[in-house]
Amino acid sequence: MSAVARTIVAAALAASCFANRADAASLAPTRPCARDFDVPITIYNESYMTASELDAIVATAGSLWSPYGVTLAPVRERGVTVIVSHGSRGAQGSTQGRMVLGTTMFSDGHAMPYIHLWLDAAEELFYATVSTHAWSMPSVERDSRLVPILGAALAHELGHFLLDTSGHTLDGMLQRLIPVRDLEHPTPARLGLSVDQQIALCTPKENHLSAPSK
């Protein structure tokens, strides 16, 4: 059974110049679902991030999903596997400056509960956009500014999993190129779901409820 890793791509330099084409009203949550979703998240930390920072990453992603009745709940095991590790990956066919922030595993055309977040890619994105010398920045400040970037990336990856799609959009949570300003300051108004995506979320899917551990 073959598995294909699908990527979220961030443009480290160019994306900060693009305005998000999403109109806030078009992505406003409408809560079409009659039920809420509890999504367990199990993080495997292979980085220097602290437990509180990892919790903040999940909380950031949760703030983007909560308007749609989705609650992210950290659990010790048997949740959606989220690996946070060092390293970075370039997107297939990408030009210089485009880094992969996260990947989700796909098998036989369906999303698996297995997400990977790449810390070095988030760092490179951050260093490319700050005006001060990032290397001289206190580590606590630097890490705190990486949290929303990784949180937005996690929300994006969960979008592929919860909607069971490898497709991308021109705007919102599942856009291929998320502007840097929205990665650094993610909000549901700019990183939301379209009406069609909200309706798709309501379609019962087994992978919403079953998430084998690593």
| Residue 163 parent element (H or E) | helix 139-163
What's residue 33's pLDDT? 75
The verdict on residue 111 lying in a domain is yes
Query: Residue 58 sits in a domain of what CATH number?
Result: 3.40.390
pTM of the model: 0.79
- Cα separation, 89 vs 104, in Å, equals 13
The verdict on residue 80 lying in a domain is yes
pLDDT tens-digit series, residues 111-137: 999 999 999 999 888 888 776 665 667
- What is the chain's alpha carbon radius of gyration, rounded to the nearest angstrom? 16
State the chain's mean pLDDT as an integer: 79
- Count of the separate structural domains present in the chain: 1
The verdict on residue 18 lying in a domain is no
The verdict on residue 26 lying in a domain is no
Tokens of 138: 């206190």
The verdict on residue 195 lying in a domain is no
Report residues of the chain scoring pLDDT below 50.
Answer: 1-26, 92-97, 207-214
The verdict on residue 157 lying in a domain is yes
**What Cα–Cα distance (Å) separates residue 81 from each residue in 12, 42, 75, 187, 211?**
26, 5, 10, 24, 8
The verdict on residue 25 lying in a domain is no
Tokens of 134: 């990032």
**Boundaries of domain holding 185:** 3-12+33-189
Task: Kindly tell me the sign of the dihedral angle through the C-alpha atoms of 45, 48, 51, 57.
Answer: negative
Pairing, β 98-107 against β 3-11: antiparallel
pLDDT > 90: what percent of the chain?
55
What's residue 133's pLDDT? 63
What's residue 93's pLDDT? 39
pLDDT tens-digit series, residues 29-41: 555 576 788 999 9
- Cα separation, 191 vs 27, in Å, equals 8
